[in-house]
Amino acid sequence: MQFYVDNFGLFRDAFLTTLSLSLLGGLLALVLGTLLAAFRVSPITPLRGLATFYVETFRNTPLTVVFFFIIFGLPQIDFVIGFFPGAVLAIGLYTAAFVCEAVRSGINAVASGQAEAARALGLTFGQSLREVVLPQAFRTVVPPLGNVLLAMVKNTSIAAGFAVSELSSLLPRLVNANAGELVLVLIGVVVGYMLITVPSAFALHRVERRVAILR
């Protein structure tokens, strides 16, 4: 226990960093991912092509490579970004591809009659998506979206290798300074992640039950 008391400040700061990475990265991923999903089902071919290209690029690239590109690649073309904003960008851009596919699966799950009826009523494509299709789609994608976001929280650990002092960067730091306390360090880090993921999973479950549609 004394070990955690002594290193409380470190654990707190690292936890807050992981939390902000998760919140900001998740926000970026949700907004961008939803936009991409709208592109992917849009009637405009170039938008569909663009979104498909984006999804296939980011979904099939390791996150570490995305990090490398943003942190070390972009400065080569004189676009220097800070390490923390860079990490948020990498995590958000990467996760957006997965969010897009989850949301698209939800859109596909909405009976096509719904969109057709909306169009028949005179709603534009954008209106029918916003007012009719997406609200129903989001209800069905809560579980897969939850998976994507929980995976993202754990993916934030990659930022440790790119100069962001988040939870898993405590592993080498504290282990090197307290080589005998390896297990305590591991437990502390795991608990830090679980403080984010377990309540999130619980909240997602409640949202899922609340918005479930009886078919």
Partner 1 sequence: MRITRYAATMAAVGLVLAGCSSDAGEQAEEAADNTVEVQENVDFEAGTTMAELAEAGSITIGTKYDQPGFGLLNPDGVPEGFDVEVGKLIAAELGIAPEDITWTETVSANREPFIQNGQVDLVVATYTINDARKQLVDFAGPYYVAGQDIMVAKGNPEGITGPQDLAGKNVCSVEGSTPAQNIRDQYPDAQLTLFDVYSKCADALTNGQVDAVTTDNVILTGLVAGNPDGFELVGKPFTEEPYGIGLELGDTEFRNFINDVLEESFENGDWAAAWDRTAGAITGEEAPEPPQVDRY
* List of residues contacting partner 1 (CB under 8 A): 72, 75-76, 80, 83, 160-163, 165, 169, 171-173, 175-180, 182
- Closest distance to partner 1 from the beta carbon of 5 (Å): 19
Per-residue tokens: 127: 């209106």
Give 130's contacts (C-beta < 8 A, 6+ positions apart).
Answer: none
| Closer by beta carbon to partner 1, 36 or else 189 | 189
- Closest distance to partner 1 from the beta carbon of 29 (Å): 24
- As a whole number of angstroms, the distance between CA 96 and CA 85 comes to 16
| Closer by beta carbon to partner 1, 53 or else 72 | 72
- Closest distance to partner 1 from the beta carbon of 184 (Å): 13
- As a whole number of angstroms, the distance between CA 158 and CA 64 comes to 7
Residue 59, CA distances (Å) to 25, 88, 96 in order: 16, 17, 9
Give 42's contacts (C-beta < 8 A, 6+ positions apart).
Answer: 48, 125
Per-residue tokens: 98: 């997965």
| Closer by beta carbon to partner 1, 80 or else 211 | 80
| Closer by beta carbon to partner 1, 15 or else 162 | 162
- Closest distance to partner 1 from the beta carbon of 10 (Å): 11
| Closer by beta carbon to partner 1, 73 or else 143 | 73
- Closest distance to partner 1 from the beta carbon of 82 (Å): 9
Find out whether 110 and 136 touch, Cβ atoms under 8 Å.
Answer: yes
Eight-state DSSP code of residue 212 = P
Closest to 86 measured CA to CA, from 119, 63, 105, 56 = 63
Per-residue tokens: 10: 């470190």
Per-residue tokens: 204: 């997602």
Other Cβ atoms less than 10 A from the Cβ of 138: the count is 17
- Closest distance to partner 1 from the beta carbon of 75 (Å): 4
| Closer by beta carbon to partner 1, 90 or else 100 | 90
